[in-house]
């Protein structure tokens, strides 16, 4: 992109949109300016001049002077329509919509190839951590074994308050919502869906394998109770919601599950709204990335980084796809877990391959044992609020 100044057309002016506006105005080294912002509610009070705003998406999508479309809205179908239209119109696109990207990954890849335009989405995965670009550039020829870590700042903030400051789950969640880290409806965060969408995106850039979100099992922190917290503390552990992608025996598996983390693990000391990602590879062993995973300016800075990269004609090359040695996706893997329940009728322990520890009391029971991820994925008993599962390292 050879223009001295690039014109931006932005969709959405919520937390991330306003964060982008702030970091763009505080950054002197990037020649980009906002020409128009498309919003849904024209009557809402906003902190910048009303001349920036429109409710007509075509004012951006059909304006030949707009070079880059920046998509920052929460509606999945509308976001895909905006992005796909912009790509077909030959415009470069930057997005932060992890759900939209994860659910349409293959179609979006084909649109980039067919229309020969870049589509960048660093902000969709771990906010301020440049993980996608590292997977694309630094690990393009390295034999990766795993990408895993904390990729949801909201749940990490909640778990930090529970374990470090002894807050209740409800109090910690409310604080996260008040700070803008969690949505008014926190389901996507606390049940692990948000992390799953990010893992689907990272899986493609790490291994070149397309996977649909519904194929990846997710279970969040929404069933965590005081008994589980006490169990973790007695074992010198904390709990972190982990998204994991790992290659084994020519296959790759992925999941999102809460883990019991011991102090030696690098993720143990990732607190509050921060994210932490561990990479394991054949050539470089382990590398660790940490950075803010929630908040307007943290995510806005990742969006701005993508806009800046476009000035240098950067685009994802998807080198792992072109290498044609993508591992096949599977859920056939055995995990070591802690399973808490109240009565035998709530769970099916016959699904465990082995049980190494068992405890019973008048109020709570638990087992520690090995179970196949495929069985967890189909276990109806995990929908019972009185049942919880944690992966044990």
| Per-residue pLDDT reduced to its tens digit, 50-103 | 899 999 999 999 999 999 999 999 999 999 999 999 999 999 999 999 999 999
CB-count exposure of residue 259 (10 Å: 0-12, 13-18, 19+): buried
Residues 38-45, mean pLDDT to the nearest whole number: 90
CA separation for the pair 356, 16 (Å, rounded): 46
Residues 361-380, mean pLDDT to the nearest whole number: 97
Whole-number pLDDT of residue 3 = 60
- pTM for this one? 0.95
User: At 182, is the pLDDT very low, low, confident or very high (cuts 50, 70, 90)?
Assistant: confident
What distances in angstroms separate CA 96 from CA 106, 167, 221, one per listed residue? 17, 31, 24
What domains can you pick out in the chain, each with its CATH number?
A: 6-135+296-317 (3.40.50.720), 138-293+327-392 (3.30.360.10)
User: At 184, is the pLDDT very low, low, confident or very high (cuts 50, 70, 90)?
Assistant: confident
Whole-number pLDDT of residue 283 = 80
Written as six digits, the tokens of 374 are 């495929």
Per-residue pLDDT tens digits for 339-354: 999 999 999 999 999 9
For the question of residue 198 being annotated catalytic, the response is yes
Residue with the two structure tokens 């394991």: 280
Per-residue pLDDT tens digits for 301-313: 999 999 999 988 9
User: Residue 212 pLDDT > 80, yes or no?
Assistant: yes
Whole-number pLDDT of residue 2 = 57
Q: CA 138: distance to chain centroid? A: 20
Residues 181-207, mean pLDDT to the nearest whole number: 93
How many CB atoms are closer than 10 A to CB 77?
Answer: 10
Out of 35, 198, 292, 320, the active site residue is 198
User: At 329, is the pLDDT very low, low, confident or very high (cuts 50, 70, 90)?
Assistant: very high
User: Residue 4 pLDDT > 80, yes or no?
Assistant: no
Whole-number pLDDT of residue 142 = 65
Q: Is the C-alpha dihedral spanning 166, 170, 175, 181 positive or negative?
A: positive
Angle (nearest 5°) at CA 22 between 275 and 315: 65
Whole-number pLDDT of residue 323 = 84
CA separation for the pair 296, 268 (Å, rounded): 25
Per-residue pLDDT tens digits for 217-230: 999 999 999 999 99
Residue with the two structure tokens 């932005």: 10
């Amino acid at each position: 992109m050879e223009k001295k100044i690039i014109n931006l057309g932005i969709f959405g002016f919520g937390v991330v949109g306003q964060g982008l506006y702030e970091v763009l105005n505080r950054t002197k080294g990037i020649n980009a300016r906002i020409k128009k912002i498309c919003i849904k509610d024209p009557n809402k009070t906003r902190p910048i001049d009303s001349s920036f705003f429109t409710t007509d998406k075509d004012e951006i999508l059909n304006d030949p002077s707009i070079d880059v479309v920046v998509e920052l809205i929460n509606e999945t179908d509308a976001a895909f329509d905006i992005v796909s239209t912009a790509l077909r119109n030959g415009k470069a696109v930057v997005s932060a919509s992890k759900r939209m990207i994860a659910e349409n990954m293959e179609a979006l890849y084909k649109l980039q190839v067919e229309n020969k335009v870049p589509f960048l989405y660093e902000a969709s995965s771990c906010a301020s951590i440049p993980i996608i670009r590292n997977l694309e550039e630094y690990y393009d020829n390295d034999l990766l074994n795993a990408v895993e870590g904390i990729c949801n700042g909201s749940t990490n903030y909640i778990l930090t308050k529970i374990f470090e400051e002894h807050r209740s789950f409800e109090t910690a969640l409310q604080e996260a919502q008040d700070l803008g880290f969690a949505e008014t409806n926190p389901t996507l965060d606390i049940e692990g869906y948000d992390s799953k969408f990010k893992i689907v995106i990272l899986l493609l850039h790490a291994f070149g394998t397309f996977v649909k979100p519904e194929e990846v099992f997710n279970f969040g922190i929404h069933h965590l109770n005081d008994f589980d917290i006490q169990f973790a503390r007695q074992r010198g552990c904390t709990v972190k919601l982990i998204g994991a992608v790992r290659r084994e025996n020519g296959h790759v598996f992925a999941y999102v599950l809460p883990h019991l983390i011991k102090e030696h693990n690098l993720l143990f000391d990732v607190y509050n709204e921060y994210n932490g990602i561990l990479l394991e590879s054949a050539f470089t062993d382990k590398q660790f990335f940490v950075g803010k995973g929630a908040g307007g300016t943290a995510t806005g800075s990742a969006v701005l980084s993508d806009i800046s990269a476009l000035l240098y004609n950067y685009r994802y090359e998807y080198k792992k796809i072109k290498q044609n040695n993508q591992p096949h996706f599977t859920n056939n893997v055995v995990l070591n877990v802690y399973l808490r329940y109240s009565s035998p009728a709530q769970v099916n322990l016959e699904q465990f391959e082995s049980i190494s520890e068992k405890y019973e009391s008048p109020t709570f029971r638990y087992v520690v044992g090995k179970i196949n991820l495929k069985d967890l994925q189909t276990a109806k008993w995990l929908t019972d609020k009185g049942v919880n599962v944690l992966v044990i390292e």
